[in-house]
Amino acid sequence: MRILCPQCGAPVEALTESRFYRCPFCASSFVVHEGEGLVEYTFRHVRDDRQAWSALSSYLEAGLFTDPVERVAVDYRAFPFWMLSRNGDRRSLTPALEHPFPEISQVTLPAGDLVFLDDGGEYPAPSVSREQARERMPSDEGKGTWSLVFLPLYFLTWRAADQEYTAIVSGPDGKVFAMAYPVSAGVRFPLRHMVMIVCFALLLLMEGLLIRSHVLRAGAFLFSFAVLYPAFRLLLKMEIPA
C-alpha cells in the first residue's frame, strides 16, 4: 500500500496500518489510519513527579485550600489525542484513548513546539478511532487537518479530608485540570479571642476620647500597639479547626 507522507507528500510504502512509519525524505513520523497517513506529534518533556505535585499544591492554594494532602499515586504517560487543525491556528483535542479520569476531556493543547515522535518513546496506540472522535464533535467542527498528538501528562490521585480526588497536570506547562477539590475547613475563634478584640478596640476608642493632649494620646496609642497588640495577635493565631 502506497501512502503519501502527510508532511512532505513523498510516497511511502506501508505494508499495514501500523504505527511509527517514518518518512525517508523528511524524517517525520506518522500513522496510517483508514488508508491515509496522519502526522504524529509530541512535546519535549522530562518526567518530574515532584514538579507535578508542586503544580497541584499551587493550584489548591490558589483555591484557598491549604489543608494537608496525602499523595496516593502518580501515573505518567504520553497520552494520545486526536488533534483537528482548522484555518491554521484553531486546534481542538479529542482523547484518543479511554481513561477513567473525567478531567481528560478538559485537557487543552499547551503552549510550545510540537515535535515528531522519537523512536525510543512509549506511545500507546489509540483506542478511539478518528471517526469516533469526529462524531463526538459538533457537526460543523469535524472538517480540517487531522493528526495524532501525544501529550506528556501526570495523572495524580490524592486524598484530603477523608476523600480521594484526581487531577491531571500537563507536563509542558504545568497546567492543572481538576473536576473537583475540597474546601478548607473553616476556623473559629474561641470566645476569649473575640472578647480581646472588642476590648482592644474599646481601649483605643477610650484613649482617643478621654486624653485631650495630642502628645499624651499619641503616647498611649503607641504603648497600646507596642505592648498589647503583639500579645493579642499571638493569641489570635491559635486557631481551632471547626
150 grid coordinates: 501525544
Which DSSP letter does residue 175 get? -
Residue 205 is assigned to a structural domain of this protein: yes
Reported pTM: 0.65
More confident residue, 225 or 156: 156
**95 and 45: one domain?**
yes
Q: What mean pLDDT do residues 111-127 have? A: 84
20 falls within a domain = no
Distance (Å, whole) CA 42 – CA 81: 10
Please tell me whether residues 130 and 148 are part of one structural domain: yes
For the chain, how many structural domains are there in total?
2
- Do 80 and 168 fall within a single domain? yes
Q: Across residues 126-152, what is the average pLDDT?
A: 84
Measured at the CA of 30, the angle between CA 27 and CA 31, to 5 degrees, comes to 155
Based on the fold, state whether residues 45 and 158 are members of the same structural domain.
yes
The region that residue 11 occupies, defined by phi over 0 for left and psi between -120 and 50 for alpha, beta otherwise, is beta
Asked if residue 73 is part of any domain, the answer here is yes
Strand 29-33 to strand 2-4: parallel, antiparallel, or no bridges (unpaired)? unpaired
- Judge whether residue 240 has pLDDT over 50: no
Buried b (16+ CB within 10 A) or exposed e, 36-52: ebbbbbbbebeeeeeeb
Answer yes or no: is 170 within a domain: yes
Residues 151, 192 within the same domain: no
User: Are 136 and 58 members of one domain?
Assistant: yes
Q: Give percent above pLDDT 70 in the chain.
A: 72
Same domain, 231 and 172: no
Distance, CA of 3 to CA of 51 (rounded, Å): 41
Q: Which domain holds residue 78?
A: 41-113+120-177
Same domain, 140 and 227: no
Q: Does residue 157 lie in a domain region?
A: yes
Boundary of a domain, candidates 128, 148, 177: 177
In a domain, 13, yes or no: no
Give yes or no for residue 195 having a pLDDT over 90.
no
Average pLDDT, the chain: 80
What would the mean pLDDT of 1-16 be, rounded to a whole number? Answer: 57
More confident residue, 65 or 34: 65
> Region 28-41: what's the mean pLDDT?
65
What's the pLDDT band for 144 if we cut at 50, 70, 90?
A: confident
Q: Assess whether pLDDT exceeds 60 at residue 164.
A: yes
- What was the pLDDT predicted at 141? 63
The residue behind cell 495523572 is: 155
pLDDT of residue 198: 81
* Final residue belonging to a domain, choices 177, 203, 225: 177
What's the pLDDT at 139? 65
Domain-ending residue, one of 135, 151, 177: 177
Confidence of residue 236 (pLDDT cuts 50, 70, 90): low
Q: What is the mean pLDDT of residues 20-49?
A: 72
Least confident span in 147-151, 159-163, 204-208: 204-208
If asked whether residues 200 and 80 sit together in one domain, one would say no
3-state secondary structure 115-145: EECCCCCCCCCCCCCHHHHHHCCCHHHCCCE
Residue 16, in any domain of the structure: no
Query: Do 232 and 151 sit in the same domain of this protein?
Result: no
Tell me whether residue 53 is in a domain.
Answer: yes
Q: CA triplet 146, 38, 120: central angle to 5 degrees?
A: 120
Range with the poorest average pLDDT among 56-60, 159-163, 179-183: 179-183
201, 223: one domain: yes
Q: Indicate if 56 and 163 belong to the same structural domain.
A: yes
